[in-house]
Amino acid sequence: MKKKLLITSMLMATTLLSAQMSKQEMDEIRSSNPLVMQWVTPQQTPPFDLIKTEHYKPAMLYAIEKAKDDINKIISNTAEPTFENTIVAYEQSGKILDRVSSVLFNMNEACTSDEMQQVAQELTPILTKYSNDVSMNPQLFAKIKMVYDNRDFIKLTTEDRMLLDKVYKGFIKNGALLTGEAKEEFRKASEELSVLSLKFNQNVLNDQNAYVLNVTDKKDVEGMPAYALEAAQQEAKARGMKGYAFTLDQPSYVAVMSYCPNREIREKIWRAYNSMGNHGDTNDNKQVIKDIVNLRLKIANLLGYQSYAEYELEDKMAETPAKVNDFLNDLLNTSMPYAKRDLNAVQEYANNHGFDGTLNRWDFSYWSKKLQKEKYDISPELLKPYFNLEYVKKGIFELAGKLYNLEFRENKSIPVYHKDVQVYEVWDKTSNKFMAVLYMDFFPRDNKRQGAWMTSFREESKVNNNEIRPLIQLVTNFSKPTSKTPSLLTFDEVTTFLHEFGHCLHGIVTECTYQSLSGTSVAHDFVEGMSQFMENYAYEKEFLDMFAVNYKTGDKIPQKYIDRIREAQQYNAGWLSIRQLFFGILDMTWHSIEKPFDGDVLAVEQSASRKAELMSMIDGCMMSTQFSHIFGGGYAAGYYGYKWSEVIAADAYQAFTEQGIFNPAVSSSFRKNVLSRGGSKKPMELYKAFRGHEPTNEAFLKQQGFIK
C-alpha cells in the first residue's frame, strides 16, 4: 500500500510529450493528406491512387502528434492506473501512426524510389525519437509498472496477461529503467541504428540494380531453358541491348547459376551477386555492419546483457544463446556427413561428364541440376509448364478453402500501388465473415528488394467491440510473363509461394483482441513453423492434382512426374541444411560479440563459416554485406529460427499425414489452437493444445532423410 501511494504521488507531476505542430498545420494536413484522411475505399484500404511521396513526411509528423495526444491522455489521467486505462489505452494509441508508418516502410521495400528512400531516412530517426520518448517516460512507465506489480490481484484473461507482460517487458527492453547519461546513450544508439538498417538495405538494392551482364553469343547460353532465355531477351530489349541481359534479380540469377553452360559467365554473375555491399564504394556495407553490431552491443550492455544475442533471445522459445548454439551445432554435426556425400556425388558426376578439376562455388548448382535431372529425370523445362502462376495461385486458394474454409474474391476496385498487384478479399465460407484483404505482388522491379516476404498494412484487433480485420501483403520476385508465355514457376518457387502464403494464413485467420498479439506477432523461432508447414503440400499428389495442368495442352501433371518430385525431396538435403546452418551461425557470431568490434568483417565471416563450409572462400565475396535478414530486417540473433521452425513444421505436418492431409478435424484444430491465436498464449502452449505434446526431431530428421 505504501508503494502504491508513492507511485501515485509521482504521477501528479506529469511529464507530457510536447507538441511540435500548430493547430492550423494539423488541420490543414487532416483535411488534405490522403494518408491521414478517413479512408472511404473498400474495406478501408490505403488509397494508393491518391498517395504521393510528398504526402509521407507531413502525414508522419501529424501522426506522431496524434500519437503524443494519446499518450498524454494516459499520463495525465488522475484515476488510479488500471489494465483498461493504462495497458489497453497504450495498446490502442497511435493508430494513425501505425497506418502511416506501415504504408511508408512497406512501400520502401516493395515500390521505392530515390525520393522515398530519402524520406524514409529523414523520418526514421524522428519516429525512433518519438518511440524513445514514450518508452522512457517515467510517469507512463510508473503507471504500467503499477498495473504489472498488481497483476495477480486483477481479473485478467490469458490474452490480457500476455499483453501486460509484453508491454511491461517491452518498456524495460527499450530503456524505461535507464536514467541520466545511460538513457541518452540508449536514445542515441537506437536512433542511429534505425537509420543504419535502412542504409544497409538501400546499399544492397543499389548494387543489385547497378549490375547487368550482357551476353550476345548464343553459344554461351546454349542449353539454358527457353523460359530463361526469353526473359533475358526481353530484359535486353528493354535496356536497349542486343542478345541477352542477365541481372541479379532472383529468377535471372538462379537460371544462370543452374543452367548456363559457360563457366566464365557463371563465375561473373556469382561474384557480382555475392559481393553486393562489398565494393569499397558509397554502397559498401562493411562499416555499416561494424556500426550496427556495436550499437546493438551498446544497447544490450546498457540494459545489463553481455551480448545482443542474450538480449534478443530472452523472450524467444530458445531463450539463451547457449541453447541456440547447441541446436545449431548438433544439427550441423548431423547434417555434415550428408552434405559431404552430396558434394562428393556432384563432384564425381561432373568429373565423369567432362569437368576437369575441383568444383567451385559457381559450379555446384550447375552440375547439381544436371545430376538431379539424370537421377530423377526432372527439370524446370519438364515441370514449369504445369506451374503457371495463375494456376498455382488458384490451387493454393483452393487448398486454403479445403483446410480452413476460406474463399478469395478478387476486388479490382481496391486501389493498388503498382499495376502488377492483385487484390483479394478473403471470406470465411462457413460463417460468411470477412477475414482480410490480401495484396499479391509477384514480379521483380528495380524499385523492389530481392526475396519474398509477407507483411501487413493493418493488423487485426478488436476496439470497443468492433473488430478490425487485417490488410495482408504477399511479395515475391517470380519470373514475369513474356510476350510468348505466362509466368511459369520453378518447383522451388512453388514452395516459396506456399511458404509466404503460410504466413499470410497466420495473419488472415487470426482472432485476437489486441493488435500487438494478433497474427504473426509471435517469436521468430515459432512464426516460421507456420510457413514451412505449408511447403509440405508441394509434394502431395492430392494437392498437385488440384491445379497442376499444362498451360498449353490442359493435361494434368503425370503421376510419374509427381513420383519424381517426391523422390527428389531429399536431394541435396545435407548440402542445403549446412547452408542454412551457416547463416544461423554467422548471425549468432555477429550478435554474440561482447566487446566493441573494429576488426576485419571478412575475418569474422571466415571464422564463423569454417566449420560449416566445404568450399574455400572467394576473394571479394561474403554473405555479411548483403545479409539483409539480420542487418536490415528483424532477424538479428534470430536466423536460427528457420531451422528451429522446420522441426515444428515437420512435427505438425505429421499429424496431417497420420489422419489425412485435408482432414477437417485436424485442420480445424490447427486453425483454432495455433493459427488463429497469434501471440495470445506462449507458443509451446498453443502447439501442445494442437499436437498434445512438444515437437520432437524425429519427423524432421526423417523428412530430411537423415534417419529411416
Mean pLDDT in consecutive groups of 10 residues from the start of the chain, 708 residues: 35 66 92 97 98 98 97 97 98 97 97 96 96 96 98 97 98 96 96 96 96 96 92 95 96 96 98 98 98 98 98 95 97 97 98 96 97 93 95 98 98 98 98 98 94 97 94 96 92 97 98 97 94 97 96 95 93 96 98 97 94 93 97 95 96 96 98 98 97 95 92
Distance, in Å, from the CA atom of 364 to the CA atom of 343, rounded to the nearest integer, reads 8
Beta bridge partners of 245: 214
Q: What are the Cα distances from residue 500, in Å, to 527, 541, 667? A: 11, 21, 18
Distance, in Å, from the CA atom of 346 to the CA atom of 343, rounded to the nearest integer, reads 5
Size (the chain), residues = 708
User: DSSP letter at 306?
Assistant: S
What three-state secondary structure class fits 132?
Answer: helix
3-state class percentages of the chain: helix first, strand second, coil last, to nearest 5: 60, 5, 35
Would you say 33 and 58 are in contact if contact means Cβ atoms under 8 Å apart?
yes
Distance, in Å, from the CA atom of 651 to the CA atom of 700, rounded to the nearest integer, reads 7
CB hemisphere CA count around 599 (13 angstroms)? 12
What three-state secondary structure class fits 10?
Answer: helix
Res 708: pLDDT: 81
Q: Which residue has the cell 514480379?
A: 443
Listed residue (204, 100, 303) closest to 623, CA to CA: 204
Would you say 436 and 43 are in contact if contact means Cβ atoms under 8 Å apart?
no
Listed residue (81, 74, 68) closest to 145, CA to CA: 81
Return the axis-axis angle of helices 114-135 and 180-210, rounded to nearest 10°. 160
Q: Which residue has the cell 568483417?
A: 601
Instruction: Decide: pTM greater than 0.85.
Output: yes
CB-based burial label for 697 (10 Å; 0-12, 13-18, 19+) = middle
Q: What are the Cα distances from residue 526, in Å, to 161, 290, 522, 586? A: 20, 29, 7, 20
Would you say 459 and 519 are in contact if contact means Cβ atoms under 8 Å apart?
yes
Beta bridge partners of 438: 424, 472
Domain boundaries, the chain: 2-135+137-173, 211-273, 385-572+646-704
Cell of 548: 497442376
Cell of 193: 541504428
Res 483: pLDDT: 86
Count other Cβ atoms within 10 Å, centred on residue 354: 6
Q: Which residue has the cell 536497349?
A: 240
Res 16: pLDDT: 81
Fold category of 385-572+646-704 in CATH: Neurolysin; domain 3 (1.10.1370)
Q: What are phi and psi of 304, to 5 degrees?
A: 95, 15
Strands 212-215 and 244-247: antiparallel
Res 77: pLDDT: 97
Out of 109, 159, 460, 500, pick the active-site residue: 500
Q: Return the CA Rg of the chain.
A: 26
Count other Cβ atoms within 10 Å, centred on residue 24: 8
CB-based burial label for 357 (10 Å; 0-12, 13-18, 19+) = exposed
Q: What are phi and psi of 457, to 5 degrees?
A: -95, -15
CB hemisphere CA count around 494 (13 angstroms)? 27
Count other Cβ atoms within 10 Å, centred on residue 2: 5
Residues with Cβ within 8 Å of 635's Cβ and at least 6 positions away in sequence, in order, are 524, 587, 629, 641
Identity of the residue numbered 487: S
Distance, in Å, from the CA atom of 412 to the CA atom of 410, rounded to the nearest integer, reads 6
Is residue 500 annotated as part of the catalytic site, yes or no? yes
Q: What CATH number labels 2-135+137-173? A: 1.10.1370.40
Beta bridge partners of 434: 427
What three-state secondary structure class fits 603?
Answer: helix
Distance, in Å, from the CA atom of 532 to the CA atom of 127, rounded to the nearest integer, reads 33
Would you say 102 and 72 are in contact if contact means Cβ atoms under 8 Å apart?
no
Beta bridge partners of 436: 426
Q: What are the Cα distances from residue 668, in Å, to 23, 406, 427, 432? A: 51, 12, 16, 16
Distance, in Å, from the CA atom of 8 to the CA atom of 2, rounded to the nearest integer, reads 10
Cell of 526: 515459432
Cell of 141: 512507465
